[in-house]
A and B are shown apart, each in its own frame.
Chain A
Amino acid sequence: EVQLVESGGDLVQPGGSLRLSCGASGFSFRGSWLSWVRQAPGKGLEWVANIKQYGSQTFYVESVKGRFTISRDDTKNSLYLQMNSLRNEDTAVYYCARVYPGSSWPSFDYWGQGTLVTVAS
């Protein structure tokens, strides 16, 4: 059974940093394409970042470029999102998601349960 489990969400002050993790199981992690998608309270979905297999290529929404870094550790079946210089508007539930094998973004077929990041003073 495919499972994605996020962790690391917390309350952080503006300008602070946080690292989210997403542990994966039940599928071939190494060759998978993965993403982070966020949802602000009461709002819609927003794509944040993509990473291809082996971490060879990464892509970001304009609003997080230079502040967020997506990465993966295939030896630990884990996906990460390093978030620096956090802003109030980064407050959201952050989901990790997998791309349907053989397809492309945004064919996100499995999602984690989400982890809440709150940026506030």
Chain B
Amino acid sequence: QSALTQPPSASGSPGQSVTISCTGSSSDVGDYNFVSWFQQHPGKVPKLIIFEVSRRPSGVPDRFSGSKSGNTASLTVSGLQAEDEADYYCSSNLGSDSVVFGGGTKLTVL
């Protein structure tokens, strides 16, 4: 199974909004509503910020939102803050109880 496709980098200025895409296929993102997004700061453990396409775990600011259209999932970070600078990974259920991750997107806050 190929990895989901994410842009290698994204950027925005403080206060702006940025959207990161995650493109899969009809066998993963397009077929299941189990898409997650993880934030990882350098040297740190990944943190779940979105699951089941658009649900936020407790404690995650509502500046983070997720959506899906067809085979593409998206993560939007609104009101960018300096601490949002990190790597972001999408992941999808593949069916047959297996998982695929995207290659990751490095978000830079200008």
Contact = CB atoms under 8 A, between A and B. Distances in A.
A107 B54 CA distance: 11
Interface residues of A, number: 26
B91 A106 contact: yes
A47 B100 CA distance: 6
Interface string B16-58: 0000000000000000001010101000011110011000010
B31 to A, nearest CB: 13
A108 B35 CA distance: 11
Given A47-B91, A47-B100, A103 B34 contact: yes
A47 B98 contact: yes
B83 interface: no
B62 interface: no
A45 B104 contact: yes
Contacts of B101: 37, 44-47, 106
B69 interface: no
A109 B57 CA distance: 8
Contacts of B99: 35, 47, 50, 105-106
Given A100-B57, A103-B52, A106-B91, A45 B46 contact: yes
Contacts of A106: 34, 36, 51, 91-93, 99, 101
Chain B's interface: helix, strand, loop or mixed, by majority?
A: strand
A53 interface: no
A108 B38 contact: yes
B98 A59 contact: yes
B9 to A, nearest CB: 13
Given A47-B100, A52-B97, A105-B97, 12 more contacts: A37-B101, A44-B87, A44-B101, A44-B102, A45-B38, A45-B89, A50-B98, A60-B98, A103-B51, A106-B91, A111-B46, A114-B45
Interface of B: 1, 3, 34, 36, 38, 40, 45-48, 51-52, 57, 87, 89, 91-93, 96-104
